[in-house]
Amino acid sequence: MSISEQIKNLIGQIPGPDEGGSYANLDMNNIKQIEKVVVQLHKGGRNSALGLIDMLVEPGKGDDIKARFALHLLAVHITRKGSEQARSEFARAVASQVGGDRPKAIQIYLIEQLQLAGTKEVAATLGKALLDRELCDPAARALTSIRDGAAEQLLSALPNVHERQRLSVINSLAVLRAAQAADAFRQALRDPDPDTRIAAAWGIARIADASAAEVLLKCAEAHRGWERINQTDACLALAENLVAAGKRSKAAAIYTYLQRTRTELSERHVYETAERGMMTAR
């Protein structure tokens, strides 16, 4: 029996959903059966992962319910303590199928499994996926979850991505608190896209980049509405992080500026927040 037939037989033992399409029909015996299947798939290593991936189809183009479910259960299973080698093998097998000719919807599903179970070994594959318009945001999220090696991949992709992809990358660098992205954040404050500017401001706040305080304050000052609200929040978050880092005078300068400039009734809450913050910066 070929490997693909073996896998097909194995996942055939997983019950299908009920008539309504849900798995509300499972009972304790079914669960034991599913667990046995997952253990067998685990034993199959790389071949199991690749065999399951071969059974995936685009949403609406066929029935891959069991293969999809099984691949995810395998991803969860190999994240258990003591399965490090299996996890690494699984992650590499799944990553090997990202970036090829498979439909993008399937590749996105694979990237989502890497978001849960991927390790630093697949960071480079995800880094390449950042350059693909459809895969970029899922890949950025997966890298953010993996963390290890993520910032390097994001920074390396940055010069080659534009518009929404650039936003995804800047946003993920900010989530990661990537101090090495300080220059990129400062540059992105001048981006034509307001969402990118907001993500960059948030990144500056998260890495507590005191040297960017002035430019951040000016950026917040220059805008109105949603962007001003967000940029101002980044200024306050930056000040809080500077206090936490012991850079009180830098924080005090931000609070002073905000108290001087947020004098409208509509920004009273900002003034008061800066006033409270100033107490901590003294």
Nearer residue to another protein within complex by CB, 186 or 206: 206
Residues 42-61 that bind another protein (CB under 8 A): 59-60
Is residue 23 close enough to count as binding another protein by CB under 8 A? yes
Residues 157-176 that bind another protein (CB under 8 A): 164, 167-168, 171-172, 174-175
What is the rounded CA–CA span in Å between residue 127 and residue 113? 16
Nearer residue to another protein within complex by CB, 110 or 213: 110
Which of 48, 45, 122 has its CA nearest to residue 86? Answer: 45
Of 9, 12, 39, 80, which one interacts with another protein (CB under 8 A)?
80
Assess contact for 253 and 235: CB atoms under 8 A: no
Which token pair is 46?
């790389």
Q: How many CA atoms lie less than 13 Å away from 130 in the CB half-sphere?
A: 35
Nearer residue to another protein within complex by CB, 65 or 179: 65
Q: How far is the CB of 269 from another protein (least distance, A)?
A: 3
Which of 251, 235, 234, 232 has its CA nearest to residue 243? Answer: 251
Of 65, 155, 182, 215, which one interacts with another protein (CB under 8 A)?
65
Is residue 34 close enough to count as binding another protein by CB under 8 A? yes
Assess contact for 123 and 113: CB atoms under 8 A: no
Output DSSP code: residue 179.
G
Q: Which residues, including other chains, have CB under 8 Å from residue 246's CB and lie 6 or more apart? A: none
Of 3, 31, 39, 245, which one interacts with another protein (CB under 8 A)?
31
What is the rounded CA–CA span in Å between residue 169 and residue 130? 8
SS3 for 243-266 is HHCCCHHHHHHHHHHHHHHCCCHH
What is the rounded CA–CA span in Å between residue 220 and residue 110? 39
Q: How far is the CB of 54 from another protein (least distance, A)?
A: 18
Phi, psi of 239 (to 5 degrees): -60, -45
Of 9, 133, 272, 282, which one interacts with another protein (CB under 8 A)?
272
Residues 87-126 that bind another protein (CB under 8 A): 105, 108, 112-113, 115-117
Nearer residue to another protein within complex by CB, 5 or 269: 269
Is residue 81 close enough to count as binding another protein by CB under 8 A? yes
Is residue 279 close enough to count as binding another protein by CB under 8 A? no
Of 7, 235, 262, 281, which one interacts with another protein (CB under 8 A)?
262
Q: How far is the CB of 196 from another protein (least distance, A)?
A: 8
Q: Which residues, including other chains, have CB under 8 Å from residue 272's CB and lie 6 or more apart? A: none
Assess contact for 274 and 236: CB atoms under 8 A: yes
Of 2, 24, 82, 279, which one interacts with another protein (CB under 8 A)?
24
Nearer residue to another protein within complex by CB, 3 or 61: 61
Q: How far is the CB of 51 from another protein (least distance, A)?
A: 18
Is residue 249 close enough to count as binding another protein by CB under 8 A? no
Site string for another protein, 188-227 (x = CB under 8 A): -------xx-xx--x----------------------xx-
Assess contact for 243 and 277: CB atoms under 8 A: yes
